[in-house]
Structures are given as structure tokens and as C-alpha cells.
Amino acid sequence: MKKFYKSQIILALSMIFTFAASNQANAQCAITGLAEAYCLDALPVFLAGTPPGGTFSGPGVSGELFYPEDAGVGVHTISYEYIPGGDRYYIKSSIGNPWGQTTTDQAFDLAFGPGEWMLEAFETVDVEAVFTGSTSMIYMDGSQNQSTELAAFLSANLTAIEEWVDAGGVICINAAPNEGGDINFGFGGVSLDYPSVYLNTVTMVDPVHPTMVGPQTPTSTTMTGTSYCHGRILGPGLTNVLVSGSDVGLAEKDYGDGHVMFGSMTVAYYHNPDPQAANFQSNLMTYMDDYIDFEPCVVTMDVEVLDAVSPDIVGESDIYDVCLGEEYTLTGSGAEDFYWGGGIIDGEPIMQDAAGTYTHILTGISDEGCVATSAVTVSVHPNPIVDGGFDLTQCAGMDLILSGAGATTYEWDPSVVDGEPFEVTEGLTTYTVTGTSEFGCESTDEVVVEGIGGPVVTAVITDEYELFGASIDITVTGGSGPYGYAWSHGPTTEDVTGLYEGAYTVDVSDSGVEEGICPPVSETYTIIRFVGVEDLTENTLTVYPTPVNDNVTISYVGDFNYELTAINGDIIFSGKAVDQEIISMEELAAGTYLIKVTSNVELTTKKIVKQ
């Protein structure tokens, strides 16, 4: 019984099988990637064939490469031959041999010869490499304590295995467990029923089944074991091979263009009679390997090597370092026609939508049809992420510094120098910074600066016409308000009264502005004393300066006596002088003091403030 390739190529899991409905294996071959003509100096060409895994031959061919120069000028025939099948696999668990026996290995050696088959494990097998068109048969055994490994492998790869068989593969899935339970064998609902039934004696349903005929003889239609089978095979569409009454120990079915066998057999080490039982297992391997008759396919293709050489082409860009969002233009020279690929047209500007390094391959074609390539690399640089900083508030008339980040150089509009102080004007001003990277790429950011105007202070001054009768009445406008007041002599009110001769300073702060932005506005006012002017003689007493920090001068025409007293009347200094006397008050505490001058019977008093 044989199944053969169809004429249509079927791709399954990186493998290609072709089968014919006429039961004659005819794989359809093809050569891909080879042009009809090459110039004499063309680079080596990679050869590709389908199905993969075949052999190329012909002038200038070395392995999978075609060298036009080695082939020489002229028309050459390149051949591709593919021989499907040939590889056989025994797959079990990596934990060891079922029941520690190697009789399955011996059956493979007897069927094909040592070294003519390959051993793999459920845990490590490369499914894509094994389940290919170069594999003719696979025997999987998950018996004894390897059934859970088989079940896991089937669960993960059943779809791939079914596709491989459907495309023409042949496989036997066998398990005689000593653990676990039922196993889904797939292929339309086939399963292993375990542990409900154990089969000790089995008989051959078809006495002339190919496994009974040879090549290894003698064989027996009845075999026994302890137990021969663990479990039984259930499912639709099966052709029974080994049975025990109504229970099935080995069955088979066609699936697509392939064939699959299902078993619950223990290893032949436990089977009798001998050597009939061992011969049956070896014949089972041969039967599976011969189920599909693989025939090679051969395809040829004529390739001309022209007596011409490739053009000397040059690809160029008008700009090699551009910023994201800018255009550049690629042009070629040295050939008749140019192709850049990717939709790029020679001589027309292009723009990339992402930063990066772009290598453009120019293909130039001469009048003779010879091809050459040239590479052009253009760097598209990202635009800098420029940061001018947070929006700021500053008192008008004071200095502020704006500094950009994220680029190499910075320019501000309105014009200020990056990183250097400038004077803030009153109101809202938007400053735009343009940052430029080392590649000349630009970005901008904006900073809003609010210039806060300071308070404006005006005053109405009432001088001292009577003792402590002076006052200062100020009015504050501008700024934000409310305002705070701090007078040099202590009060925190807007207006002050009960003043005497001297200078008074007030600091007005704008409480509506964040603390520390604007300094207080300071104003100094002087009170003039007019007390007793109508009683003064020509010998007028003068005391200055006031307020005083260190020395105070007493000026009076003629001889006079003087006393410096505290406001409570305590005498601090006293003495006699003529015309003028200088008294040091540097060590005295700040406060108000009295200077009394006596000449003859006249007494004159002056107040003085020590700061």
C-alpha cells in the first residue's frame, strides 16, 4: 500500500510536501531568485529552491551560490534536484528508555541499519526541524513513566503534527502508561483509554498485513506479553491491526495525504514468541517508512552571462545631516536608469517621519542591462526638546535671569542674553527661546514673565510748631496691595503723629506680592522744629545733626553751660564751652535725648534723636 505526492505544493510548518492523486510521488520543484541574465562582473547570486533542501548544479555554481564570472559569457543551464523523505526519527522522553529496555532501538537498527535513524526527546526536539519534507517516518513512544511527557508534547504540538501528516507525513503514536490517565491522540478524535483495560494476548486482524510479510521473518499472527498492551485505542475511522477480542491494541488510518498509527503496546522485550515479536516491531518501522514512495524532482533554468560589466554609479544626497521635518534629495549618476526603492524617486525631495540613520541603496542599470548598486547614508537628527523654565514673576525694575536647556545655543525674543541678568519691565511679557542643537536643529519654548510694579508713596508733612506736634500723612498707590508699613522710630501704621524735629524713614511693602519678589519701597521725611522761635535772641542755639549716630555739635555764641540728659531727666554729660562743643554719643543707646544750654539766666532746650 502506497500514497504519493500531489502536484500542488503544500506548505506546512516550514516544510513543503507535494503529492499526486495518482499515487505516484511527484514533487514539484522550482528555482526562485535567479534572474534571466547577469553581467560578467555581477556579484555572486544566492540560489533558492522549493521545496528547500535540494541540490544545485551547473556552470558557476558552488553550493548555493552562482558566480557569473566563473560561469563565463554565454547561456548556462542551472539545475535543482530535490529528493524528499529519507530521515527517520524515534522520539521518547529524555528520562530514559521505557522499562529500561532498548528493543525499540534494536528494531530501528534491524529495519534501517545503525546510524540510519535519529533519536530525539519530547523535551528538546526542534519540531520545525524534524517535521519537514525530508522526514519519511516518526515513531513516538510514551510508555511506562513517560506518558505524561508524551501527553504534554502532543498538547503543545498536535496541530503542527496533524498538518505534517496531512501534507504526507507518516507517524506512529504509541503509549503503554504506568501513570496518568487517558491521552488525546488527536487526528479526528482518537484517544488512548487508560487504565481500564490491559491486553495480554493480541491477534493480527489481517494475516497478510505488510508487517506480517517481511522483510524480517518469521512472524506470528498471535503474540502475548505481560501485558502486551496497557490500555486500548478508541476513535472513528480506524483500521484495526492488533486486537484482543473487541479491544484494540494497534490501529491505523489515512489522514489527508499522510498516514498515522496508534498503539498501546509495551516494548518488544516483553513480547512472545521470539524472534517473531521482535521481527513484527522491525517490520512495523519498515512498513511506515515505505508507506509513501518518494520520487525526486529536477528543474532547470537557463541563465545568460552578458559580455558587459556593471556601470560605475554614484549615489548622492544634497544634505547628509538633516533635522527631523526637513527634506533632502537623492540623485544618482553613471547609469541609464536608477531605482532607489521604498517609493523614492531620483531627484525628488523626501522627508522621514522619525529620527535615525537611513541607508538608501541605489540600483543603476546600464543600456546593456547590467546592474550596480551604491549606498547613501543620511542622518536624520531629532529636534532638541527645549525648556525655557517655568513662568516667572519679578518686581519691575529688578534683575531676572532666563536660561534655556535641552540644546546647545539659545536665542531669546524679546532680546535678552541667555544666562545673564536683565531689568524686568512692568506687565506681562512672553519670552520665546529658540534652542539650536549641535546639528543645527531647532525647537522653541515660551516663558511668561510678569513684572510687578512697586508702590508709589506721597506724603503731607506737618512740621513741629509745638512740642511733639509734628505728623506725616502718607498716601500709597500702585502695586497690588494691601500694604505693610515699618517706620524707623517703630510704628507700623500708615500715618504717624506726635513727632518732633528730625528725619523719619518709612518702608512700604506690598503684601499682595509673593514674599521676597519685591523689596520694600523706602522714603525719608524731615521734620523741622519751629517751637519758641519768637523768643529766641540773636544768640541762637543750634544742635546738629539730628538724628545723630556718633558726634553731635552744640553751637551757641559766647559762653554757655550745657547738659545732655535722658528723656527722664538723668544727666549724662555736662560742661562749659565757648561758641561750640562737640559731644560723642556713639556709645549711647538709640532713643531721644535733651540738650540744655544756659547763658546768664536764659535756658534753651533742644531734643535730639540717637539712631
Given this model, what pLDDT does residue 459 score? 94
**Whether pLDDT at 536 is above 80:** no
- Pull the grid cell for residue 439: 546639528
* Range 456-527: architecture per CATH: Sandwich (2.60)
Given this model, what pLDDT does residue 7 score? 22
Q: Which of 368, 327, 367, 359 is nearest to 340 (CA)?
A: 359
Residue-range domain boundaries for the chain? 5-82, 89-290, 310-381, 392-447, 456-527, 539-610
**Per-residue model confidence as pLDDT tens digits over 106-132:** 999 999 999 999 999 999 999 998 998
Residues ≥6 apart with Cβ < 8 Å to 169: 17, 131, 135, 137, 138, 258
- Lookup result for grid cell 515699618: 486
* H-run or E-run covering 161: helix 147-166
Given this model, what pLDDT does residue 20 score? 27
**Whether pLDDT at 369 is above 90:** no
**Whether pLDDT at 9 is above 70:** no
Give me the mean pLDDT over the 137-159 stretch. Answer: 96
| pLDDT range class, residue 168, cuts 50, 70, 90 | confident
Given this model, what pLDDT does residue 541 score? 79
DSSP secondary structure letter of residue 495: S
The CA-based diameter of the chain, rounded to the nearest angstrom, is: 166
Give me the mean pLDDT over the 298-321 stretch. Answer: 92
Average pLDDT, the chain: 88
Residues ≥6 apart with Cβ < 8 Å to 114: none
Put residue 465 in one of left, alpha, beta given phi > 0 → left and psi -120 to 50 → alpha. alpha
**Whether pLDDT at 489 is above 70:** yes
Given this model, what pLDDT does residue 341 score? 87
Lowest-pLDDT range of 61-65, 144-148, 545-549:
545-549
**Between these two residues, 20 and 167, which has the higher pLDDT value?**
167
User: What homologous superfamily is domain 89-290 in, according to CATH?
Assistant: Class I glutamine amidotransferase (GATase) domain (3.40.50.880)
CA distance 500 to 468: 5
3-state secondary structure 413-429: ECCCCCCCEEECCCEEE
Lowest-pLDDT range of 11-20, 166-175, 274-283, 488-497:
11-20
Please state which CATH class domain 310-381 belongs to. Answer: mainly beta
Beta bridge partners of 582: 553
Given this model, what pLDDT does residue 274 score? 92
Give me the mean pLDDT over the 404-409 stretch. Answer: 96
| pLDDT range class, residue 568, cuts 50, 70, 90 | confident
**Per-residue model confidence as pLDDT tens digits over 214-231:** 999 999 999 999 899 999
Rg (CA), the chain: 55
**Per-residue model confidence as pLDDT tens digits over 49-59:** 887 778 999 99
Share of residues in the chain with pLDDT > 90 (%): 62
CA dihedral 163→167→169→173, nearest 10 degrees, is 30
- Phi and psi (nearest 5°) for 7? -85, -15
**Per-residue model confidence as pLDDT tens digits over 193-214:** 999 899 999 999 999 999 999 9
Please tell me if the domain spanning 89-290 has the same topology as the one spanning 539-610.
Answer: no
Q: How far are the Cα atoms of 24, 168, 237 from residue 3, in angstroms, in the given order?
A: 7, 8, 18
- Give SS3 for 129: helix
Q: Can you give the length of the chain in residues?
A: 611
DSSP secondary structure letter of residue 354: S
Given this model, what pLDDT does residue 27 score? 54
Inter-residue contact 338 to 332 (CB < 8 Å): yes
First to last CA, the chain: 127
Given this model, what pLDDT does residue 189 score? 96
**Whether pLDDT at 4 is above 50:** no
| pLDDT range class, residue 464, cuts 50, 70, 90 | confident
**Between these two residues, 480 and 264, which has the higher pLDDT value?**
264
3-state secondary structure 17-57: EEECCCCCCCCCCEEECCCCEEECCCCCEECEEECCCCEEE
Given this model, what pLDDT does residue 548 score? 86
Given this model, what pLDDT does residue 229 score? 96
Given this model, what pLDDT does residue 566 score? 87
Q: How far are the Cα atoms of 15, 103, 160 from residue 156, in angstroms, in the given order?
A: 19, 28, 9
CA atoms within 13 A on the CB side of 150: 32
| pLDDT range class, residue 94, cuts 50, 70, 90 | very high
Give me the mean pLDDT over the 283-298 stretch. Answer: 87
Please spell the DSSP secondary structure of 368-421, one letter per residue.
Answer: T--EEEEEEEEEEEPPP--B--S-EEEETTSEEE---BSSSEEEEES---TTSE
Please state which CATH class domain 539-610 belongs to. Answer: mainly beta
**Whether pLDDT at 535 is above 70:** no
Give me the mean pLDDT over the 250-278 stretch. Answer: 96
